[in-house]
Amino acid sequence: MSQNGKPKVAFFDFTSCEGCQLTVVDSLQDHPDLLAAVEIVQFREAMSEKGEDYLVAFIEGSCTRESDEARLKKIREQASIVVALGSCAHLGGVNSLKYLHPLDEVRRYVYGDQADWYDTYDVRPIEAVIPVDFVIPGCPIDRQEFISAVKALLLGKKPFIPDYPLCVECKLKENTCLFTRGKVCMGPVTRAGCDAICPTYGQSCEACRGFISNPNETAMRDVLTKHGLTVEGLTSMYTMFTTYQVRETLLQRKNANE
């Protein structure tokens, strides 16, 4: 707490597009009251002032090099509450597409003979490096969900993040199901909370918020079969934001079977 009794909050970024922090800026412009309720001590993208004493750390971005681990651990030591902000921090996000190719080959494709100049390793969500208390999912985060989460934290409550599939919200929006329009969609297994914004604008859900904790795989297969599709045909969409999760799940299952 600062002397004025306001909780001190800091924002940090690792490998990301910084779009979630921009969404934070956009969210706050509609909620100046929230800005008055906290003291922001670090937000490199928006301010030069810098304080090392903070209670809550919001972290955007994935960990993609060993040298970033120390910085993450330092944040964890200081902050009482660590919140993963957005898909890159939460899941590894689009950064984890790198997994689909051999790491060395990816480096050479981009940096050629000088690949060794640049430090990188297998992408991971921040929870793979430090314990995370809360997650605000999405690519980018949903403005309303961010505001609700901050309000909950200020009240000492656990932020509510839905654990039901996107289809619930999509139905409430009265959208036409994309499967009936011949498109595949990750809605049946993806965590809701974005108000089904992509299907509402005519695009398939790409699972940027990650899977619900107990996805009904059988029902998903049934939906696919009914529309003449296969899991294999969905592979590309399954891996857009969630390559790290899919890989971890497959590894766990493999280990369980052995």
Partner 1 sequence: MNKRIDVHHVTRVEGHGNIVVEIEDGRIKECRLDVVETPRFFEAMLRGRPYQEASHITSRICGICATGHATASLRASEKALSVEPSEQTQLLRKLTFHGEILDSHVLHAYMLVAPDFLGVGSVIPLATSHPEVVLRALRMKKLAGDICAVVTGRHTHPIAMCVGGFTHFPKPAELENLHQRLVAARADVDETVALFATLHWPQFERDTEYVSLTKPDEYAFIDGEIITSDGARLPAEAYRQVTNEHLVTHSSAKHTRHLRQSYMVGALARFNNNYPQLHPRAKEAAATLGLKPKVTNPYLNSAAQVVEIVHCVEDAIAIIDRLLERGITSEQPAPVKAIPGEGVGVCEVPRGLLIHHYWIGEDGNMTGADCVIPTNQNLANLEADMLALTPLIAEKPIKTMQLDLEMLVRAYDPCISCSVHVLEVEPK
Which residue from 226, 164, 211 is spatially nearest to 192, judged by alpha carbons?
A: 164
Instruction: Check: CB of residue 132 under 8 Å from CB of residue 126.
Output: yes
The residue within the footprint of partner 1, chosen from 75, 145, 206, 245 (CB under 8 A), is 206
The residue within the footprint of partner 1, chosen from 92, 125, 137, 140 (CB under 8 A), is 140
* Interaction mask 65-104, partner 1, x per CB under 8 A: x--x------------------------xxx-xx-xx---
Question: Rule CB under 8 A: is residue 173 a binding residue for partner 1?
Answer: no
Question: Rule CB under 8 A: is residue 220 a binding residue for partner 1?
Answer: no
Question: Rule CB under 8 A: is residue 124 a binding residue for partner 1?
Answer: no
Size of the site for partner 1 (CB under 8 A): 59
Which residue from 87, 63, 14 is spatially nearest to 243, judged by alpha carbons?
A: 87
> Which window, 1-9, 73-81, 107-115, 211-219, contacts partner 1 (CB under 8 A)?
107-115
* Partners of 11 in beta bridges: 43, 58
The residue within the footprint of partner 1, chosen from 6, 7, 37, 46 (CB under 8 A), is 46
**Backbone φ/ψ region at 63: left (φ over 0), alpha (ψ -120 to 50), beta:** beta
Question: Residue 105 or residue 258: which is nearer to partner 1 going by CB?
Answer: 105
* Partners of 191 in beta bridges: 165
Listing from the earlier edge strand, what are the strands of the sheet with 39-43? 39-43, 8-13, 56-60, 81-85, 134-136
Q: For residues 239 and 44, give the distance between their C-alpha atoms in angstroms, rounded to a whole number.
A: 31
> Which window, 2-10, 36-44, 147-155, 164-172, contacts partner 1 (CB under 8 A)?
36-44
Q: For residues 40 and 7, give the distance between their C-alpha atoms in angstroms, rounded to a whole number.
A: 8
Map residue 25 onto helix, strand or coil.
helix
Question: Residue 111 or residue 164: which is nearer to partner 1 going by CB?
Answer: 111
Question: Rule CB under 8 A: is residue 23 a binding residue for partner 1?
Answer: yes
The residue within the footprint of partner 1, chosen from 1, 45, 73, 222 (CB under 8 A), is 45
**Backbone φ/ψ region at 196: left (φ over 0), alpha (ψ -120 to 50), beta:** left
Q: For residues 67 and 235, give the distance between their C-alpha atoms in angstroms, rounded to a whole number.
A: 32
Rounded to a whole number of angstroms, the minimum distance from the CB of residue 197 to partner 1 is 6
Rounded to a whole number of angstroms, the minimum distance from the CB of residue 256 to partner 1 is 29
Give me the residues that bind partner 1 (CB under 8 A), please: 13-23, 25-26, 29-30, 32, 35, 40, 43-50, 64-65, 68, 93-95, 97-98, 100-101, 105-107, 109-112, 114, 117-120, 139-140, 197-198, 200-203, 206, 236, 240
